[in-house]
Chains A and B, each alone.
Chain A
Amino acid sequence: MASTAQAAGELASIPRILARNAAHYGDRPAYREKDLGIWQAWTWAEAAAEIEALALGFMTLGAQPGDKIAIIGRNRPALYWAMISAQMVGAVPVPLYQDAVGDEIAFVLEHCEARFVVAGDQEQVDKMVDVKDSLRHLEHIIYLDPRGLRKYDHQHLTAYTELQNKGRDARDAFQPEIKRRTDALGYDDTCVMLYTSGTTGRPKGVVLSNRNIIETAKNSAEFDHLRQSEEILAYLPMAWVGDFIFSVGQAMWCGFCVNCPESADTMMTDMREIGPTYYFAPPRVFEAKLTSVMIRMEDAGRFKRWLFKRYMAVAHRVGPAILDGKPVSGGDRMAYRLGEIFVYGPLKNTLGLSRVRVGYTAGEAIGPEIFDFYRSLGINLKQLYGQTEASVFITQQRDGEVFSDTVGTPTPGVELRIDDATREVFYRSPGVFVEYYRNAESTASTKDAEGWVATGDAGFIDPESGHLRIIDRAKDVGEMADGRLFAPKYVENKLKFYPDILEVVVFGNGRDRCTAFINIDLTAVGNWAERNNIAYGSYQELAGHPKVLDTIQSHVEEVNASLANDAMLSGCQIHRFLVLHKELDADDGELTRTRKVRRRIIEEKFADLIAGLYDGSEKVSTVTEVTYEDGRKGSISATLELRDAKVYPTENRMAAE
C-alpha cells in the first residue's frame, strides 16, 4: 500500500511520470522513428519539450478540461505525444482505429463529443473532412504529415508542427494554466477512452482512469521484471488497449524506449534493426512468420533443408526444457548449442527475435505447434489473457510455467472467480474500468456493485497446473438439439492450426449436427498451388479448386477424429463444410477490426449457404455484396461445392448403442 500511496501522491498521472522521466533520465532515448531511412531518436527531455509545445498549441485552440481529443493514424511518436499533450491540458485522448471507415468514425466522434482530431496523414484527414459537417462538436483537425494537404481549406485545419510553433510563441501566456491543470490531475481522473470494436452492436467507450493504467503498468512490469533498457516495437493499432499499456503505460512507468516502424510494409526490416527485447504479437503474426519461414525452407537447397530438419528436431525435443531450466542431458545440451550456431541464432536474427527476453501472445488461441516452435528456439514466448475493461491483464504465464493450452495465473492484484453454473470467468482488479462512457446500462450489466467484471468467456481452472483455461465465448457456448455441448471456437481453433486454413466459422447451436464455413490461407495454399502447377486467377478460383477441397476435407476429418476422443466435445464433429468464395473481411462487417468472427452477421449474410449445408444440396449459387477499401460496394457471385466429411463414432455413443 505504501507504494500506492506514493504513486498517488507524486506519479498520479502520465504527465507527471513524464516529468519524472525527463528529470531523472532526460538523455536516454524515449522514442525512435524511422524516417527517410534513418532512425531518428528523441530523448525523454526532448520528447517532454515536444509534448509541452503541443499542449500549449491545444491551449491556443481553446482546449478545456474534459474535452475529448481524438487521435487517428499509424503508430508514430508524434501521435503518442498528442495523447499526453491532451492529458496535460486536462482533456481526454481518444485513439481511433486507423482503418475504421467513415460512419464508424462519425459514430465514435459524435458519441465522445470530440472537439479536436489529430490525424496522421491525408487519408485520415479526408475521412474527417467527409464526416465533419454531420458532427456537432468537431471544431478543428490537426494533421501530422502535410503531404497532399497544401491546398486544403485551412480554416479548420492546422499542421502539427505549426500548432506547436504557435504554442511555443504563446508559452508565457499559457504555461501557468497548463501547470495548474496538470497538477490538478488525480489518480481517479480519466487517463484515456478506448472504443472497443465490439463483436455485436455499436462500439462502447471504455473509460480508464490514471489508477487503472498506472497500477496495471506497475504490477505487470514488476511481474516480468521490465527495465529501463527494454526496447519495444509499437506497431499494433493505437486504439487497442494493449498498445496503450505497452507503449504508454509500461513505457512511461519503466522509462523504456518505444520504436515506431517506417510503414506497415517495412515492419520486418525495422524489427530486425531494432531487435526488441519485449515483444507482443497476436497468434496470427507468429503464424505468418512461421509460414514464411517454412515456405522459404522448402525453396532452400538440400543441405540447408537437412541442417534445418536435423536441428529443429533437437530443438523440438529439448528446447522448451532448456528454456524452463529443467534438467537435460549433456549430449543434448551440446547438440542444442551447435544448433544455436547453425540454425536457431541466424533464424531468430532473420525474424528480429534475437534479443526478445519477454514475448507475449494473446487474443486468440495459438496452435501448440506454433507455440512450441518459438519456445524451442529459446524465445521466452508466453500467453496472457486480458481485455480492454481490465486494462489488459487478467492472467499471464510466469517464466518457467508455460503451457500452450492455458493462459496462466492471475496477474498480481487480480482476483478471479468462475461461475459454477455458466462457467463464465469473472475478475476484480485495480485495472477494472471506470465505466462505459454515457452507457450506464451496459456498465451495470458488465460490472457489479462489488467491482466484479464479467469477461463473457467460459473457462475453468486446470487442476494440474492451476492455470486458467478458456474454452469459448460464454454466449457462443450452446447446446445441440440432443443436449450435447456446442463450443464452436474450440473446433474452429483446432482447424485454424492447419496452415492452409485462415478462418473457420462453425454452426450447430440447437441443431442436430455441426457444419462449417472455411477460408483458405491464400499465402500457404497459393504456394502449394504454384509448386503443384495448379493455375488460378483469384482467391475465389483457388478456393473452389477440387484438389484444395480434398485437402481441406482431410483436415476436417482429422479434426473430427480427434474430437471423437473427447467425451465432452464429440458432438461438435463437422458433418458438412464449404470453402467460402471470399475472405471474411472487417470492411464487410464479418470480422471485428481485431479480426474476430462476428457470428450473427455471418449467419444473416450467408443464410442461403447455411440452409444449403443443412438441406443436403451439393451445390449452391450465391451473390455476395463486398465493400472495397475506399467504401465503394460491389458484388461477387459464385457457385459453391458443399462437401460431406467423415465423422467418427464416439466411445460414449458406442457404449450407449
Chain B
Amino acid sequence: MKCLENLFYFSNSNFSKMISVQHLVKIFPTKNNFFFKKKTDESEMPSRANSVDDISFECKPGKIFSLLGPNGAGKTTTLRMISTMLKPTSGIVTVAGFDTQKNPEEVRSKIGFLTGSTGLYARLTPNEMIKYFADLNGLDDVTFKRRKDELFTMLDVHSFANKRIGTLSTGMKQKVSIVRTMIHDPEVVVFDEPTSGLDVITAANIIELIRQCKAKNKTVIFSSHIMEEVNLLCDDLAIIHNGKLKFNGSMEDFRLQHGNHSLTEAFIETVQNDLKI
C-alpha cells in the first residue's frame, strides 16, 4: 500500500466547497425503443428508480464524502450529474467553481472518475491508453512523461506497460484504471461503487487510493452500499433513498444521532423511517 503514497501532488484548491449540489432533481423520461418514442409522463417520474428528487450537499477538499443508499437509490445518477455525464432536470451543481451545465469541459478537466466496472480499451496497451487520456486532458509531453513515469513506478505498471490490456489480470487492469484516473492530477475524484466486483486485494488498492487522495487534500466523493468501506473512510455522509436525501452531515453527527447502533443498523433505521412515512 505504501506504493500509493506520494501518488499525487497536494491540491491547492481555494474552494472551501469543491463540489456544491443545490436542489438537484433528475427525472428520466419514459423508456422508449429506437423507432417509437413515448411521451414523458412526469407525474410518474419521482417514484422511478435512479431518479433524484431535490438533493443538496457539499463536498470539501481533504474530506471524503460518501453517498450511501440501497441499489437504485440515485447514487450513480447523482455522481453522473456531478461529472457532467447527465444533465440535471433542475438544480445547480458546481465543481471547483464551474457550473456543470455551463462549463462542462472545465468541470471534466478537474475530475477523475473511477468505477468498479470501469472498462478499458482491451486492444490498446497501458502506455497507449494513458497517452490517449493525457492528450484529451491537454497534458504537455514533459508533464505527461513525468506523471506517467511516477504513476507507473508507484503502481508497478512498467512491467506490463506494453502488453495489450485485454491480456492483463483484473488487478493489473485496476492499476491501469487508477493511472488513467489520476494522470491529469485531478482536484476532485469521483468513485462510483469503486470496489464493486473486485477481489479483496484489488479493492484494498482502491481504498488506499481514496485515503491518499484525502491525504493530498483532494476532494473525494464516493458512492457505496458497503458499510465497512463507509465506516473506514468517510468524513461526511449523505444517505439517499428513493432519490430523496435522508441524511446529510458529518459521519460523527450520524453516529451521534444513532447512539450505540452499528452503521448498518443506523442506515437501515434511516431508510426504514422513510418506508414508514
A pairs with B: no
* B interface, CB within 8 angstroms of A: none
Chain A residues in the interface with B (C-beta under 8 A)? none
